[in-house]
């Protein structure tokens, strides 16, 4: 009898742990393949979010769906990927073609220590062009050009 009580207590605890893990994932948002959390860098004081045109707004939507988990809100970076608000990602060092190439082929780690960027499936060339326009608008509004 006593061990039966202990067993059901154990089952209860395990069940609660699984539920916590499951709802924790939903509550705290996306996590990537290694299971660890993506944490966006904070928006610095004085950061300028310009008025976006139609293409840039489409780019923002595609960026938030496909890139933000690593490159952060407004491209400010996360613990999973570099910020685009940075001279090295402005032209001419990284011209617009670098975006098309990175999305299609991925990018080997070379500037940072975040690891490789995987190729991103399901993003059309038009979407990458719009994403680039969105990133460029943020870069130039904040003096990275």
List interacting residues with ligand HEC (CB under 6 A): 32, 66-67, 69-71, 80-82, 94, 98-99, 102-103, 107, 109-112, 114-115, 117-118, 120, 123, 131
Phi-psi region of 33 (alpha: psi -120 to 50; beta: other; left: phi over 0): alpha
Handedness of CA 99, 33, 58, 145 (dihedral sign): negative
Question: Which CB atom, from 3 or from 108, has the smaller least distance to ligand HEC?
Answer: 108
CB of residue 108 vs ligand HEC: minimum separation in angstroms? 7
CB of residue 34 vs ligand HEC: minimum separation in angstroms? 10
Q: Which residues of 39-73 are buried (b: 16+ CB within 10 A; e: fewer)?
A: ebbeeeeeeeeeebeebbebbbebbeebbbbbbbb
Question: Which CB atom, from 28 or from 112, has the smaller least distance to ligand HEC?
Answer: 112
Question: Which CB atom, from 75 or from 142, has the smaller least distance to ligand HEC?
Answer: 75
CB of residue 87 vs ligand HEC: minimum separation in angstroms? 13
Phi-psi region of 123 (alpha: psi -120 to 50; beta: other; left: phi over 0): beta
CB of residue 68 vs ligand HEC: minimum separation in angstroms? 8
How far, rounded to the nearest angstrom, does the alpha carbon of residue 70 sit from its chain's CA centroid?
3
Question: Which CB atom, from 12 or from 118, has the smaller least distance to ligand HEC?
Answer: 118
CB of residue 94 vs ligand HEC: minimum separation in angstroms? 6
Asked if residue 106 lies in contact with residue 72, where contact means CB atoms within 8 angstroms, the answer is no
Task: Report how far residue 129's alpha carbon sits from residue 97's, in angstroms, rounded to the nearest whole number.
Answer: 9
Question: Which CB atom, from 57 or from 120, has the smaller least distance to ligand HEC?
Answer: 120
């Amino acid at each position: 009898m006593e061990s039966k009580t202990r067993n059901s207590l154990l089952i209860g605890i395990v069940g609660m742990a699984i539920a916590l893990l499951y709802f924790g994932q939903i509550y705290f948002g996306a996590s990537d393949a290694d299971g660890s959390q993506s944490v966006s860098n904070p928006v610095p004081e004085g950061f300028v979010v310009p008025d976006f045109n139609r293409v840039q707004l489409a780019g923002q939507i595609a960026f938030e769906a496909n890139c933000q988990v690593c490159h952060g809100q407004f491209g400010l970076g996360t613990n999973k990927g570099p910020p685009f608000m940075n001279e090295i990602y402005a032209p001419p060092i990284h011209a617009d073609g670098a975006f098309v190439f990175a999305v299609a082929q991925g990018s080997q780690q070379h500037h940072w220590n975040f690891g490789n960027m995987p190729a991103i499936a399901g993003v059309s060339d038009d979407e990458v062009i719009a994403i680039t326009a969105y990133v460029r608008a943020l870069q130039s509004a904040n003096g990275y050009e």
